[in-house]
Structure 1
Amino acid sequence: MALRELHIRNFAIIKQLEIEFDDGLTVVTGETGAGKSILLDALDLLLGARAEPDLVRHGESQCELTAWFDIRGLQSVQSWLQKHDLVGEEDQCLIRRVVRVDKPTKCYLNDQPTTLASLKELGYLLVDIHGQHEHQSLSRSADQRRILDQYSGHVDAIEMMAKLASKIRRLEKELGTTTQVRSDNADKIELIEFQLSEFEEVSVTEGEYAELEVEYARLNNAQALIDGIEQALDRLFLNEDVNLTSELGRQIHALGDLQEFDPTLNTTGELLNSALAQIEEARSELNSVLNKIDQDPERLREIEQRRDTLINLARKHRCSEEALPAKHQALLDELETLKDKSSRPEKLAREIADLKKSYTKIAQAVSEKRQLVAEQLSAEITAQMQDLGMRGGELSIAVEPQISDEIVVTDHGIDQIEFLVSTNHGMPLKPLNKTASGGELSRISLAIQVITSQKLDTPTLIFDEVDVGVGGRVAQIVGTRLRELGNHAQVLCITHQPQVAAQGQQHIYIDKVSDEQGTYSTLVKLDADGRTVEIARMLGGETITDRTRAHAQEMLAANQ
């Protein structure tokens, strides 16, 4: 569940290198300048560090770095990959980066192109580098807070606070928008209410205008209708010379007498009888219409006024007279919507207040626990520092809750958390990243990791010369602590101390060689004999004696 393979090609002074990593403690040794830190530089680049063209091996156009991680059981890593749609093969994560001399760098996650920011974000979940390095987590306030929270065991409460904080921020943003909208809508509401008052005064009904048009046409043309209908009745039915029904009746009778001579005249007779019936019906209808026509000037004036009212209202609202009822309903709907938006700020304010109460309750409980655990964790780290060559040193975790009446909502609660350190007895406590040297910072990181390793979830921990500047006794303790840490995480340590190297469960030796093609670094995973020789060299220098070899064998045997 950690780093399994690293492939490097044309990076710095490395031509080509492939290495497999095991669980537990892996130590990396070699002469000064051999390129031990290049491994860290390569990992750092894979995890999102800035790439410079001079990192490419001289004479080459690009370098390529690839790391394969086993992510079984790493729920945070798997969730991150799923969230970003970058899931690869089951339980595997492949990171690749290509740095080119004259072209932009390329980044890949599980063979899918990705961004540098994504590499960095995922890198924080996979690897934690400690030492004289820009990627060291202990210098970041966010990671100091994370260390304390994970040790406190209230990660669930932190997640709940983050969810509440996110919702509060979203609603506060919406509140600001809706407050402005309410101000902008005030004039609109006033205008619509005025327009609706006009509609209510007119009280237009569905289909009214069409009915008015029919009645207006009839009243406005009453005399013409009367004259025309009377003339039609007279000429068709009342004229003594030409009476349509009488004449048609006579001809039907005459043709009926002839049907016995030609039966086909039966159809003609039926058609004429049908025509006679329709003519009679038409005559009846004309008389009915004539009787209904009323020359009523007063009613005509009423119709004209009502019609003009609807025409003017339709013109004002830029719609047809028939569409006035629909326009009325649309204004009612718009007014309801605007009024609902106008009342939204009050609803949002109440909802935000309730959420802040819930947030404050959780945040205060978290703060109280942070303060209790900070005291305990500070004492344990300080005790570890004494064994790691920092006699009289002290680390104190300061937890400062907000004291303002109005709590500032953040994802991580109401506390400012800072690691303060004094590296010598009697010296005042100061911020960790401004006080400790690189080596001291590495040892403090080691102390923290040893204590918190069972509660922290970063699978691979790397320590760069964590033993710098310490003597043999402290180096022995540093090695012991690293080996203990290897029981809970994969640990890689670059070291110059034989006491540390002897405790490794895997030993990598890096050397720099030159040939006709140039200078490059080589890497070897040492077997038992190779380890004896390397630790003897670390003990006594280039000349390896029987005594240094025996001492090296003794150190290795003691740590089996």
Structure 2
Amino acid sequence: MALRELTIRNFAIIKHLEIEIDDGLTVVTGETGAGKSILLDALDLLLGSRAENEMIRHGEEQCEITAIFEIKGLTEVQEWLSEHDLSGDDEGLCLIRRVLRKSKPTKCYINDQPTTLASLRELGYLLVDLHGQHEHQALSRSADQRRVLDQFSGHGDAIKVMAKLASKIRRLEKELGSTTQVRSDNADRIELIEFQVSELDEANVVEGEFEELEIEYTRLNNSQELIDGIELAIDSLFENESSNLTSELGRQIHSLSDLQEFDPSITPVNDLLNTALVQIEEAQSLLNAVRSKIDQDPERLREIEQRRDTIINLARKHRCRESELPGRHQALHVELEELKDSSSQPEKLQRKIKEAKASYFKIAQAISEKRQLVAEQLSEEITRQMQDLGMRGGELAIVVEPQISDDIVVTDHGIDHIEFMVSTNHGMPLKSLNKTASGGELSRISLAIQVITSQKLDTPTMIFDEVDVGVGGRVAQIVGSRLRDLGKHAQVICITHLPQVASQGQQHIFIDKVTTDSETYSNLVKLDADGRTTEIARMLGGEVITERTRAHAQEMLAAAN
């Protein structure tokens, strides 16, 4: 569960290197100026740090860095990859690649899928903990200080619940802001619709009413003309004594009946005339019925005209047809109910926010109390470790300050302001860690923290640079021993110039700078047992390696193993 392979092409003074890295403690050594920090620099670039063209090897157009991480068992890493749709074909491995080009934008890949620099950084924080200069150190970031404390406290599940509540509260507050604005915007609209609905309620226009009114209005408005026309038709067709259609048709039917015996072909004609006579008689009945219904009722006509005008005016006001008024009435009722419901939404949302905040602050308070207890314990243990690591009289205190106020901003990480405070010398006041400690001191404090928290922290790979600056002798031996202990729980890579630290490594990488007539480049070599003895002897005695320094080197290696 760590960095397995690292490939570097045209980075700084490296032409092409491929190296496999084992579990446990890997030490990196080399002469001054050989580029011992090259692994840290390359990984830092790979995992999202700022890129500069000067990083590309002279004479080349681009550099490329690739790393393969084993992530089996790293649940947080696997979940992150899944959430970002960046999981690879082999779920147990993660391939990260970055290409830096002189004249074009940098390219980033996770499992061969293009991604952003921000995503590289996010994933990088989960995979590698870099302990180098101030700008690289996770320990100098407030968020990572909190992460160290929380992982050591072991309340990760509670923090996840709290973060979900925080997200819910933010969502509800955003919705509340929108609905409050909507209520303000809708106030005039509600007033208008209430008036319109009241007016339509009073009018109570029903489906099909206007069509029926139109028919009755037309009949009453033209009643005299209808009466005169129908009576004339009845008289002409049926009732005129001297000549009417019914009598004449009856006579002709009788005459033709007498002729049928002379010519049978007249029979169908006579049948048709009989049928016509029946229909004429039915028409007479219908005309009489229509006439009987036509009244000259001026009062009823005025009522219809008033009702008709009311409906026409309402339709004009609502910009619709008269027949569409009932549907418009119903639509306004629905809209009014929805607007009134949305106007009451802020109160509902405020109740939900209040309930969610009550749950949030209950969990946040419990987490805060545990943080304060654990912070005291962790501070004491780190301070003890600092004494052994060459910082006698030094002290580290983890300050947890709950932020309680009515206007506190809800965050995923709770109500606490957490800060690591340090005093590197006896009697000196505690000051912020990232403003007080030197690079070497910060690395040693980081080492102390990692040793204590290693069994609870889940970052698989840790890299230390300058962890042994300013120490030697017994302290250097302790530093090496602590790094080796740390390697039991995580993969540790340490760049060192001290033989006491180098001798503790389970894997030893030597960086050598090669110069020819035409070029200079760095070379990385994994040392075997004899190579390790020679390198540690060089670190002990310089360029001239004697039997005595070799014996001393062998003794140190034997003691470490």
Would the alpha carbon gap of residues 245 and 371 (structure 1) be closer, same or farther in structure 2, given more than 3 Å must change? same
Q: Distance in 1 between matches of 2:75 and 2:528?
A: 35
Q: Distance in 2 between matches of 1:163 and 1:248?
A: 96
Q: How does 1:120-199 map to 2 (within 5 A)?
A: 120-199=121-200
Shift of 1:556: 1.4
Aligned pair 1:452/2:453, yes or no?
yes
Shift of 1:46: 0.8
Q: Distance in 2 between matches of 1:275 and 1:123?
A: 101
The share of aligned pairs that are identical, in percent, is 79
Q: Tell me the equivalent position of 2:465.
A: 464
| Native 8 Å contact 2:217 2:301 kept in 1 | yes
Residues 207-240 of structure 1, C-alpha deviations (whole Å, 9 max, x = no match) = 1111110110000011111111112222222234
Shift of 1:176: 2.0
Q: How does 1:282-321 map to 2 (within 5 A)?
A: 282-321=283-322
Would the alpha carbon gap of residues 485 and 250 (structure 1) be closer, same or farther in structure 2, given more than 3 Å must change? farther
Q: Tell me the equivalent position of 2:64.
A: 64
Shift of 1:68: 1.1
Higher alpha-carbon deviation: 104-113 or 257-266: 257-266
Shift of 1:253: 5.2
Q: Tell me the equivalent position of 2:16.
A: 16
Paired residue total: 560
- What letter is aligned with 2:363? I
Q: Distance in 2 between matches of 1:258 and 1:558?
A: 149
Would the alpha carbon gap of residues 542 and 265 (structure 1) be closer, same or farther in structure 2, given more than 3 Å must change? farther
| Native 8 Å contact 2:404 2:415 kept in 1 | no
Q: How does 1:152-551 map to 2 (within 5 A)?
A: 152-240=153-241, 242-252=243-253, 268=269, 270-551=271-552
- What letter is aligned with 2:286? E
Q: Distance in 1 between matches of 2:521 and 2:257?
A: 128
- What letter is aligned with 1:62? Q
Q: Distance in 2 between matches of 1:263 and 1:312?
A: 67
Q: Distance in 2 between matches of 1:300 and 1:51?
A: 91
Shift of 1:404: 2.6
Q: Distance in 2 between matches of 1:7 and 1:97?
A: 11
Q: Distance in 2 between matches of 1:4 and 1:547?
A: 36
5+ residue gaps, structure 1: none
Question: Per the alignment, in what secondary structure is the counterpart of residue 36 of structure 1?
Answer: coil
Q: Distance in 2 between matches of 1:458 and 1:279?
A: 105
- What letter is aligned with 1:10? N
Higher alpha-carbon deviation: 236-245 or 39-48: 236-245
Q: Distance in 2 between matches of 1:106 and 1:377?
A: 41
Aligned pair 1:49/2:49, yes or no?
yes
Aligned pair 1:104/2:105, yes or no?
yes
Shift of 1:315: 0.9
Q: Distance in 1 between matches of 2:364 and 2:490?
A: 31
Shift of 1:4: 1.0
Shift of 1:395: 0.6
Q: Tell me the equivalent position of 1:113.
A: 114
Q: Distance in 2 between matches of 1:420 and 1:332?
A: 65
The two structures have a TM-score, normalised by structure 2, of: 0.96
Shift of 1:57: 0.6
Q: Distance in 1 between matches of 2:18 and 2:505?
A: 20
Question: Per the alignment, in what secondary structure is the counterpart of residue 496 of structure 1?
Answer: coil
Shift of 1:509: 0.7
Would the alpha carbon gap of residues 271 and 97 (structure 1) be closer, same or farther in structure 2, given more than 3 Å must change? farther
Q: Distance in 2 between matches of 1:354 and 1:557?
A: 64
Shift of 1:444: 0.5
Q: Distance in 1 between matches of 2:85 and 2:93?
A: 14
Higher alpha-carbon deviation: 341-350 or 247-256: 247-256
- What letter is aligned with 1:348? L
Question: Per the alignment, in what secondary structure is the counterpart of residue 369 of structure 1?
Answer: helix
Would the alpha carbon gap of residues 258 and 375 (structure 1) be closer, same or farther in structure 2, given more than 3 Å must change? farther
Shift of 1:242: 4.6
- What letter is aligned with 1:157? A
Shift of 1:330: 1.5
Q: Tell me the equivalent position of 1:80.
A: 80
Would the alpha carbon gap of residues 225 and 395 (structure 1) be closer, same or farther in structure 2, given more than 3 Å must change? same
The two structures have a TM-score, normalised by structure 1, of: 0.96
Shift of 1:436: 0.6
Q: Tell me the equivalent position of 1:35.
A: 35
Would the alpha carbon gap of residues 224 and 539 (structure 1) be closer, same or farther in structure 2, given more than 3 Å must change? same
Would the alpha carbon gap of residues 242 and 53 (structure 1) be closer, same or farther in structure 2, given more than 3 Å must change? farther
Q: Distance in 1 between matches of 2:294 and 2:404?
A: 89
Q: Distance in 1 between matches of 2:254 and 2:497?
A: 137
Q: Distance in 2 between matches of 1:374 and 1:128?
A: 21
Question: Per the alignment, in what secondary structure is the counterpart of residue 350 of structure 1?
Answer: helix
Question: Per the alignment, in what secondary structure is the counterpart of residue 396 of structure 1?
Answer: strand
5+ residue gaps, structure 2: none
Q: Distance in 1 between matches of 2:397 and 2:143?
A: 16
Q: Distance in 2 between matches of 1:73 and 1:467?
A: 32
Higher alpha-carbon deviation: 221-230 or 442-451: 221-230
Q: Tell me the equivalent position of 2:25.
A: 25
Q: Distance in 1 between matches of 2:219 and 2:166?
A: 72
Shift of 1:94: 1.2
Would the alpha carbon gap of residues 297 and 550 (structure 1) be closer, same or farther in structure 2, given more than 3 Å must change? same
Question: Per the alignment, in what secondary structure is the counterpart of residue 466 of structure 1?
Answer: coil
Would the alpha carbon gap of residues 546 and 272 (structure 1) be closer, same or farther in structure 2, given more than 3 Å must change? farther
Shift of 1:472: 2.0
Aligned pair 1:5/2:31, yes or no?
no
Would the alpha carbon gap of residues 479 and 265 (structure 1) be closer, same or farther in structure 2, given more than 3 Å must change? farther
Shift of 1:201: 2.1
Would the alpha carbon gap of residues 256 and 498 (structure 1) be closer, same or farther in structure 2, given more than 3 Å must change? farther
Residues 496-550 of structure 1, C-alpha deviations (whole Å, 9 max, x = no match) = 1111111111111110001233000011111111111111111111111111111
Would the alpha carbon gap of residues 25 and 273 (structure 1) be closer, same or farther in structure 2, given more than 3 Å must change? farther
Question: Per the alignment, in what secondary structure is the counterpart of residue 108 of structure 1?
Answer: strand
Would the alpha carbon gap of residues 248 and 160 (structure 1) be closer, same or farther in structure 2, given more than 3 Å must change? same
